[in-house]
Amino acid sequence: MCTGCQSTKPAFEWKVVSGRGRVRSWTTIRQALLPAFAADVPYTVAMVELYEQAGLIMTGQLHDIDLADITLDMPVRAEYTELSQGVKVPHFVPVTT
Amino acid sequence: MTSAGRFLAAGKVAIAGFAHSPVTRVEQMPLGVLTIETIKGAVADAGVTLDMIDGFSTASALVSSSGRDVVDGIHTVSSDWVVSQLGLEPRWVVGFQGIGQVSASFMLAVEAIASGAVDYAVVHRAMHNPSGSYHANPMVEAHGSAQWEAPQGMWGPPTYMALPYMEYLQRYGARREDLAEIVVAQREAGAAYPWSYWKDDPITVDDYMSARMIADPMSILDCDIPVNGVAAFVLTTAERVRDLPNNPVYVRGSAMGTRRSSNMLADFAMDNIIAGGKHTASKLWQSSGLRPDEVDVPQIYDGFSPVLWFWLEALGYAPDGQGYQFAKDPVATAGMTFRTGGGSIGTGRMHGVPQLLETYLQLSRRAGERQLNRADVGIACHGLPHAGAAIALTAEPN
């Protein structure tokens, strides 16, 4: 189902995206509601809108930046964290150029 | 000739009475038993008898994100469970699934009465406080939409709510100190509300600013405190309510929000909350034929404190980005939760109950020392503006 055009037979296909986008918002988590992350607090998670499409929002931890330097709409790009063998999740880092 | 979107049964259904249990952190008796006692109290308050109740409605969900097992009658109390225990044979028993539970399940009963399917309905809400952290979830695998967020360490409503709160502060230059004033006012109002966990227990701005942080900028004091408690309302027709003891309060209209996204994270983008909230608001004003400035008692929802700002802007009380300033005006906000009632932050996690109950009490002139001089029109909102529900109530049927 496509929530954009309401087609029940959408021609979805996988596409490679740039992994680049802007920070819509972020939060620094100080109490992990997922106990698996309890040892990692505090950590910062960003809501990122990818440049490919307005409203295309994904989430990932924000690494390699001081909290005071995070700003709304700042450009970021995705990298990957290997949580365990074969399991990778995206995180974001600031685009400095 | 009626206007498009107008509620055709406006003024035809009324609240006849209510009851509210004590609210506690640790349950004093099984939640189902507390619910039955509270329903009996509401029926007595309304001046009717249990055998006259032929409709039951609730939204029973346990809103914890912890993934716990749920037993009806213990952790939740459905209307089906109530009816099964009371041995009644009502004509109509329903439950609401969705967000905006209190307002929406109330409207299910209103519609049943307006249609003639039911003569007297009970709407209840039973809230359970599970042991341990309310939203903590020990999952080791994530399914559905959680698979896009949990592996990154993102989980739970207070964490989601941090995103639009942060975006609001950053975009509009509001500060946590601005919300601190409102939370302090909520607790002050809640300290005077009879069914408040925070009875006679106000806080200061310093308490807010130094509170334990959950997910910046959300602190523990931005979350309503989970409680055990039950509230129940009795509804009937405008004709029948005339013979009953309390001043009736009439249902003028309602609105439901509709989530546009199947993605939990996108639901918490500030723009989506406000844009969707404006749809909810326009339906509310169309349904009721009211304008924001005609509402004496606008009891907007505040289960997470920043939601107050979002509701203010969605409903049209303040332009985008100015809700935080508007909230400081004690005259313009005299009927709001942070001036009277205390809402959820000021009283505890009874969901939309304090908003609905304070609206009812004010309009029926039963608010005691909190009674406002002008209290003829009210709205009771529950949930997020874009994914919640609201009811308009009036002291007169027309």
Q: Is B30 left (phi over 0), alpha (psi -120 to 50) or beta?
A: beta
**Is residue B173 one of the residues assigned to a domain?**
no
**Is residue B268 one of the residues assigned to a domain?**
yes
Confidence check: pLDDT of A26 > 60: yes
Counting one residue from chain A and one from chain B, the pairs whose CB atoms sit within 8 A come to 102
Task: For residue B87, give its domain range.
Answer: 13-132+225-394
Among B137, B149, B166, most A C-beta atoms within 10 A, so best to mutate, is B166
Q: Which residues of chain A have a CB within 8 Å of the CB of B139?
A: 34, 36
**Is residue B143 one of the residues assigned to a domain?**
no
Averaged pLDDT score across all residues of chain B: 95
In the prediction, which pLDDT does B279 show? 96
Read off the CATH number of the domain in which B373 is found.
Answer: 3.40.47.10
Confidence check: pLDDT of B1 > 60: no
In the prediction, which pLDDT does B64 show? 83
For residue B309, name the pLDDT band (cuts at 50, 70, 90).
Answer: very high
**Is residue B2 one of the residues assigned to a domain?**
no
A72 contact B CB<8A? yes
For residue B136, name the pLDDT band (cuts at 50, 70, 90).
Answer: confident
For residue A1, name the pLDDT band (cuts at 50, 70, 90).
Answer: confident
The shortest CB-CB distance from A40 to any of B153, B158, B266 is to: B153
Contact A26 B163 (CB under 8 A): yes
Tally of structural domains, chain B: 1
Distance from the Cα of A55 to chain B's closest Cα (Å) equals 8
In the prediction, which pLDDT does B259 show? 76
In the prediction, which pLDDT does B191 show? 97
Confidence check: pLDDT of B137 > 90: no
Distance from the Cα of B218 to chain A's closest Cα (Å) equals 9
Contact B139 A34 (CB under 8 A): yes
Q: Which residues of chain A have a CB within 8 Å of the CB of B174?
A: none
**Selected residues 9-68 of chain B with any CB under 8 Å from a CB in chain A:** 65
**Is residue B165 one of the residues assigned to a domain?**
no
- Give, in degrees to the nearest 5, the angle at Cα B282 between B279 and B287: 125
**Is residue B265 one of the residues assigned to a domain?**
yes
Confidence check: pLDDT of B3 > 80: no
Per-residue pLDDT averaged across A27-34, rounded? 95
Q: pLDDT tens digits, residue range B168-216?
A: 999 999 999 999 999 999 999 999 999 999 999 999 999 999 999 999 9
Confidence check: pLDDT of B242 > 90: yes
Q: pLDDT tens digits, residue range B14-65?
A: 999 999 999 999 999 999 999 999 999 999 999 999 999 999 999 998 888 8
Distance from the Cα of B220 to chain A's closest Cα (Å) equals 10
Q: Which residues of chain A have a CB within 8 Å of the CB of B210?
A: none
Per-residue pLDDT averaged across B331-349, rounded? 97
**Is residue B50 one of the residues assigned to a domain?**
yes
Q: For every residue of chain B, which 3-state class applies, written as one string? A: CCCCCCCCCCCCEEEEEEEECCCECCCCCCHHHHHHHHHHHHHHHHCCCHHHCCEEEECCCCCCCCCCCCCECCCECCHHHHHHHHCCCCCEEEECCCCCHHHHHHHHHHHHHHHCCCCEEEEEEEECCCCCCCCCCCCCCCCHHHHHCHHHCCCCHHHHHHHHHHHHHHHHCCCHHHHHHHHHHHHHHHCCCCCCCCCCCCCCHHHHHCCCEEECCEEHHHECCECEEEEEEEEEEHHHHCCCCCCCEEEEEEEECCCCCCCHHHHCCHHHHHHHHHHHHHHHHHHHCCCHHHCCEEECCCCECCHHHHHHHHHCCCCCCCHHHHCCCCCCCCCCCCCCCCCCCCCCECCCHHHHHHHHHHHCCCCHHHCCCCCCEEEEEEEECCEEEEEEEECCCC
**Is residue B186 one of the residues assigned to a domain?**
no
Per-residue pLDDT averaged across A63-71, rounded? 95
Q: pLDDT tens digits, residue range B250-294?
A: 999 999 998 777 677 888 999 999 999 999 999 999 999 999 999
In the prediction, which pLDDT does A97 show? 66
- What is the token pair recorded at A13? 């296909």
In the prediction, which pLDDT does B224 show? 97
In the prediction, which pLDDT does B2 show? 60
Q: Which residues of chain A have a CB within 8 Å of the CB of B211?
A: none
